[in-house]
């Protein structure tokens, strides 16, 4: 009897049954793949690290005084004109950042759910023990990445309302970005809230940078301690956190701008 072969059915030579060939669309396959999720986390995270480096560097313009900082803030909005519309570059950066944040959070949530399922958290007791009742290894790194990530997300909302939109204006509202920064950081609780947020950013970066490069196959060390990647994560984290904290500290403790 002649068997007609459709695109999705193949007749096995040695066996008599017909075996379906699963052909999921590429996007669906990618969304199911843990490797793709880890890569997405890594790449979106590194895009944000790049932004943080640039943002931190830009903030140091505060030391150039009011005219210098305000001119820099103005330049960010007119950069690329007339080829780009007003604020064109800023909007490109915003869209890329927003996409990175959404992909980062989406992958994080999906990976966390997968973690729990793999450990039989919901319906099974695989890996459960007296010492580990939840069956999920709760390391210091996963704890700071997950809870730190939430703190950073809340901080970003507060930060945008404070220094970009100026809807929250402790110390007084102003059209001048320099004055907004100085007015805010003269107040102890504003300074403290940014210090706490930068510590959360620091912990997140320290583990996140190492993890991102490891996911991308760049970790060739036998042990974590002493590896080049660990050193890179430390250096980048310190540069970003110290760099971000310099202007607020100079304002709060040394009266910069007043």
Residues that bind ligand HEM (CB under 6 A): 55, 59, 73, 76, 90, 94, 97, 152, 156, 159-160, 163-164, 177, 181, 194, 198, 201, 244, 247-248
Helix H or strand E encompassing 210: helix 188-215
Q: Closer to ligand HEM by CB, 40 or 248: give it.
A: 248
CA dihedral 233, 239, 244, 247 (to 10 degrees): 170
In the complex, minimum distance from the CB of residue 132 to ligand HEM, in angstroms, rounded to a whole number: 33
Alpha-carbon distance 182 to 166, whole Å? 13
Q: Closer to ligand HEM by CB, 80 or 124: give it.
A: 80
Q: Closer to ligand HEM by CB, 37 or 180: give it.
A: 180
In the complex, minimum distance from the CB of residue 86 to ligand HEM, in angstroms, rounded to a whole number: 13
Burial class (CB in 10 A: 0-12, 13-18, 19+), 190: buried
In the complex, minimum distance from the CB of residue 152 to ligand HEM, in angstroms, rounded to a whole number: 6
CA atoms within 13 A on the CB side of 163: 17
In the complex, minimum distance from the CB of residue 69 to ligand HEM, in angstroms, rounded to a whole number: 8
Q: Closer to ligand HEM by CB, 62 or 119: give it.
A: 62
Burial class (CB in 10 A: 0-12, 13-18, 19+), 70: middle
């Amino acid at each position: 009897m002649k068997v007609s072969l459709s695109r999705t059915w193949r007749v096995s030579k040695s066996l008599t049954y017909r075996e379906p060939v699963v052909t999921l669309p590429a996007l669906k396959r990618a969304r199911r793949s843990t490797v793709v999720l880890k890569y997405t986390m890594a790449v979106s995270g590194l895009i944000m690290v790049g932004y943080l480096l640039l943002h931190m560097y830009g903030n140091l313009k505060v030391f150039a005084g009011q005219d210098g900082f305000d001119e820099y803030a103005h330049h960010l909005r007119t950069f690329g004109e007339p080829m780009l519309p007003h604020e064109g570059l800023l909007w490109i950066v915003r869209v890329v950042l927003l996409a990175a944040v959404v992909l980062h959070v989406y992958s994080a949530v999906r990976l966390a759910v997968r973690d729990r399922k793999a450990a039989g958290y919901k319906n099974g007791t695989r890996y459960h023990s007296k010492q580990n009742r939840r069956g999920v290894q709760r390391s210091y790194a996963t704890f700071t990445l997950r809870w730190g990530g939430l703190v950073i997300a809340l901080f970003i909302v507060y930060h945008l309302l404070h220094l970009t939109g100026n809807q929250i204006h402790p110390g007084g509202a102003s059209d001048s970005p320099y004055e907004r920064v100085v007015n805010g950081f003269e107040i102890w609780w504003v300074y403290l809230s940014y210090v706490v947020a930068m510590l959360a950013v620091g912990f997140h970066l320290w583990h996140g940078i190492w993890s991102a490069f490891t996911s991308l196959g760049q970790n060739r060390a036998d042990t974590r301690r002493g590896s080049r990647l660990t050193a890179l994560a430390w250096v980048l984290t310190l540069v970003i956190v110290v760099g971000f904290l310099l202007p607020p500290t100079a304002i709060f403790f040394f009266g910069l701008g007043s």
